Structure 1
């Protein structure tokens, strides 16, 4: 009986060490990845590993590193700390994710990328070409229906420029706050947080629908093409604000 117990303990220890040292590339080869996601140059273990690149819906992110906590698995959640790139790369990010079969939670997220990278090969309306950078900071995100249960954070649009068939629009810097409103993601700004005289909210609703409810006034910092186009938005109110109201689907 003692011999049997020793054999069982030895086998269990072997399985534990095998799991701890399980190469990440083996897991990637055996486990199916979500559609549109590929990994290349995988190394390390499933608990602490890296990949030279990860492609998500045609966008390639380089230098992915992750650390998976084994203790969270005991409660049915996968708790992962990750990092993309580094401070010297144009595209970089880091944060903590908590994944379960029903929801995703995130905290301490930071992400920086050029607008041109995020646009990828997509054809924007009116032959639009966008430039600048986006910085995203998310303190807390809890997935819900249709999008969120909780969201707090900020987005900074830095040195944004738009060029299309109507003209060139150097828009400058825009600060947006992120909130969850009845399950919908809300981006909000006011005319003190940008040089464009824009104030209002953009709601991301279910089925990729959006609703913009805002206003814009004439400012000295606006590009000339934009100043000329303001009357096309409608009649200004008593405070000089033109209406900004659009809805549609991405």
Structure 2
């Protein structure tokens, strides 16, 4: 049996005490400290309850996206391994105007830029997300974006990502009414140090495209599309903004 020297027991006791002290600090104190030292954070929080260990915030608003009743549970055992391991749940999965999240997120206590996620499910309202994206043709989109992440690792860049994304019940408001675009599906991965979204072509636009997103927020879209014959006339007219079609009727996207 290996015996620990007395000073090691003292260090272990101090470390355990500090961890427990931090964990049981009311969460509102931590939130106030973060907000005071980071006044430009684009996040508005509602009522915060509980501790760092386990708690709840009744509403989070960021970039026009609303998520209600967000709860978290912090695993104490991972703290001894230098990891903040959190189970998150929030929002309403059946409310299309709200965001929803459920899954596990882990971050290194020694390297805050090292983050991973497992079995993470996210729903976002399409209207709020599309309002942040510059497009050659202004659109008002509805429906929901769904993201299912099996594995994700980030260390100041995209290291590993396995998942799928979808635009569910997608619609766009046009001059003559609401246009139904149906569903779009995509595979999620890392390409180099960037996030890659590969849109599958089985959709009403026959859209086959790759979106590359950098950590800085810059993005590049390459692909092609050809609206189905049964799409409204205004969709075919709007396609002209992307230039002339090739001999197969496809138009190139290069943004």
- What TM-score comes out, normalization by structure 2 length? 0.76
Q: Does 1:226 align with 2:235?
A: yes
> In structure 2, what is the equivalent of residue 42 of structure 1?
48
How much does 1:110 deviate?
0.8
Structure (1/2) with the larger strand percentage: 1
Distance 1:144 1:15 in 2: 27
- Is residue 93 of structure 1 aligned with residue 101 of structure 2? yes
The alpha-carbon deviation at position 23 of structure 1 amounts to 2.4
Verify: 1:243 aligned to 2:246, yes or no: no
**1:158 alignment partner in structure 2:** 168
Ranges in structure 2 where 5+ consecutive residues have no aligned partner: 1-9
Q: Corresponding residue for 1:136? A: 147
Whole-Å Cα distance in 2 between the matches of residues 194 and 43 of structure 1? 44
Normalization by structure 1: what TM-score? 0.78
The alpha carbon displacement at 1:45 in A equals 2.0
Out of 76, 82, 92, the residue aligned to residue 88 of structure 2 is: 82
- Find the counterpart in structure 2 of residue 4 from structure 1: none
Which residue number in structure 1 is paired with residue 30 of structure 2? 27
Is the 8 Å Cα contact of residues 68 and 92 (structure 2) preserved in structure 1?
A: no
For residues 157 and 235 of structure 1, the distance between their equivalents in structure 2, rounded to whole angstroms, comes to 25
Figure out how many residues of one structure are paired with residues of the other and give that number: 234
CA-CA distance at 1:227 after TM superposition: 2.9
Contact kept, 8 Å, 2:194 with 2:214, in 1: the verdict is: yes
Counterpart CA distance in 1 for 2:52 and 2:224 is 50
Which residues of 2 match residues 152-231 of structure 1 at below 5 A? 152-163=162-173, 169-191=179-201, 193-205=202-214, 207-230=216-239
Unaligned ranges ≥5, structure 1? 1-7
User: Secondary structure at the residue paired with 1:177?
Assistant: strand
Q: Give the RMSD, CA atoms, in angstroms.
A: 3.2
Displacement of 1:229 in angstroms is 4.7
1:67 shift after superposition = 0.3
